[in-house]
Amino acid sequence: MADLLTRAFAADGSIRVVGVITTDSTKEARDRHKLSNVATVAMGRTMAAGLLLASAMKRENSRVNLRIRSSGPLEGLLVDAGLDGTVRGYVTNPAAEVPPKENGQPNVSAGLGAGYLYMLRDIGYGRPYNSTVELINGEVSDDIAYYLSNSEQTASCIGLDVVMGEDGVTQAGGLLVQVLPKAHRDEALSKLVYEQAGKLQKFPELLGQGKTMPEIMEALLGHLGLEMQPETTPLRFHCPCTRDRLMGAMRMFGTDELQDMIEKDDGAEAKCDICNEVYNISAQDLSELIKTMDAEAIAARS
Ligand SMILES: [Zn+2]
């Protein structure tokens, strides 16, 4: 089952329901960054949250950035997710591990510890919106729910999880229930949405059983009268970094240090911090870059 975003409406179109299956994207994040178990779950839950939040945006190139800075061994993470279904990110301390919970699942709360969640929404034009909330318990789901209720005043509840098996990630995904902006003054509807938080506690269990998103939605929220939307969005871990972009970033070393890389190492390895992709830059490429930089310096002086 490929990663997919599924949408539905409920309560005669006043509530939006969005679900994501992100198993493959979470596996890729784990492989790329060699994430520990607790880092995988923290990252996977935040990736699912980012995709769910981005799905409510309008313009094609809209993106959501979620950054956590915290005192636990993981120290925090970054996720960048787009309405186009792409997601990428990293954990500050990817190898950090903490003892699992009694049920054997990773203890994300202990891994992240106390800290802050920063949210940036780039709606595709003008200045991005920023906001910050303190982490409630570092489990990510409750922290995101708290952010939505307090910073956005949108009645919402959210379920996020990554189920780990012996060989790594078994299932990953998320489910968001939200009052639509047009109905957000309707207190009965808001109450109805908050009441679904109890239902969403069963989300990890259904996810772990390998059910599809429409099956999960129907099992948990069918009583709200779901209208499934036919359009789905494929999801994938994707970083737009390129060799050229990384080469450009190497300018910051300055020509002397670049010359040093040619002489001592016969080239350089440039790594993208966000997706961990490594680009090999040859000595010849570095010489070309130095020539360009020298030419620019002369042009700037004249
Ligand atoms: Zn990258």
Residues 185 and 284 in one domain: no
Neighbours of 2 (CB within 10 A): 11
pLDDT for residue 71: 97
pLDDT in tens, 127-186: 888 999 999 999 999 999 889 888 777 889 999 999 999 889 999 999 999 998 887 788
Distance from residue 186's CA to the centre of ligand 1 (Å): 43
Distance from residue 248's CA to the centre of ligand 1 (Å): 14
Which residues are registered as beta bridge partners of 118? Answer: 67, 132
Distance from residue 275's CA to the centre of ligand 1 (Å): 4
Residues 23 and 169 in one domain: yes
Tokens read off for 113: 């510890």
Phi-psi region of 254 (alpha: psi -120 to 50; beta: other; left: phi over 0): left
Residues 91 and 184 in one domain: yes
Distance from residue 18's CA to the centre of ligand 1 (Å): 27
pLDDT for residue 104: 85
We report the CATH number of the domain holding residue 288 as 3.90.1280.10
Distance from residue 72's CA to the centre of ligand 1 (Å): 25
Residues 73 and 159 in one domain: yes
Residues 190 and 264 in one domain: no
We report the CATH number of the domain holding residue 182 as 3.55.30.10
Residues 109 and 232 in one domain: yes
In 3D space, the residue among 83, 59, 57 whose CA is nearest the CA of residue 233 turns out to be: 83
Residues 172 and 146 in one domain: yes
Tokens read off for 231: 């359009």
Question: Dihedral of the CA atoms 77, 80, 86, 89 (nearest 10)?
Answer: -30
Distance from residue 274's CA to the centre of ligand 1 (Å): 5
Which of 193, 213, 237 is the endpoint of a domain? 237
Which residues are registered as beta bridge partners of 233? Answer: 5
What value, to the nearest 5°, has the Cα angle with vertex 173 and ends 169 and 175?
A: 160
Residues 256 and 109 in one domain: no
Tokens read off for 220: 């948990």
- Side chain identity at 101, as an amino acid letter? K
Tokens read off for 193: 């949405």
Which of 237, 272, 290 is the endpoint of a domain? 237
Distance from residue 239's CA to the centre of ligand 1 (Å): 5
Distance from residue 16's CA to the centre of ligand 1 (Å): 32
For 254, list phi and psi in degrees, rounded to 5: 85, 160
Which of 237, 265, 284 is the endpoint of a domain? 237
Residues 98 and 146 in one domain: yes
Residues 251 and 231 in one domain: no
List per-block mean pLDDT (blocks of 10 residues) for the chain, which spans 302 residues. Answer: 94 95 98 97 98 92 96 98 97 97 92 96 85 93 88 87 92 96 85 93 94 96 95 96 90 93 92 94 93 91 81
pLDDT for residue 125: 79
Residues 48 and 80 in one domain: yes
Distance from residue 284's CA to the centre of ligand 1 (Å): 23
Number of domains in the chain: 2
d(CA 216, CA 170) in angstroms, rounded, equals 16
Distance from residue 240's CA to the centre of ligand 1 (Å): 6
Tokens read off for 222: 């069918």
- SS3 state of residue 139: coil
Distance from residue 197's CA to the centre of ligand 1 (Å): 35
Distance from residue 273's CA to the centre of ligand 1 (Å): 7
E strands in 46-141: 63-70, 76-82, 86-91, 115-122, 129-134
d(CA 161, CA 208) in angstroms, rounded, equals 9
Distance from residue 127's CA to the centre of ligand 1 (Å): 24
Neighbours of 279 (CB within 10 A): 18
d(CA 119, CA 86) in angstroms, rounded, equals 17
For the chain, the straight-line distance linking the first and the last C-alpha, in angstroms and rounded, comes to: 60
Distance from residue 43's CA to the centre of ligand 1 (Å): 16
d(CA 104, CA 204) in angstroms, rounded, equals 14
Distance from residue 267's CA to the centre of ligand 1 (Å): 20
Residue 75 structural domain: 4-237
Distance from residue 52's CA to the centre of ligand 1 (Å): 22
Distance from residue 194's CA to the centre of ligand 1 (Å): 38
pLDDT for residue 183: 79
**Number of Cα atoms under 13 Å in the Cβ half of residue 190:** 12
Residues 182 and 259 in one domain: no
Distance from residue 56's CA to the centre of ligand 1 (Å): 25
Distance from residue 190's CA to the centre of ligand 1 (Å): 39
Integer CA distances (angstroms), 142 to 145, 209, 296, in order: 5, 23, 51
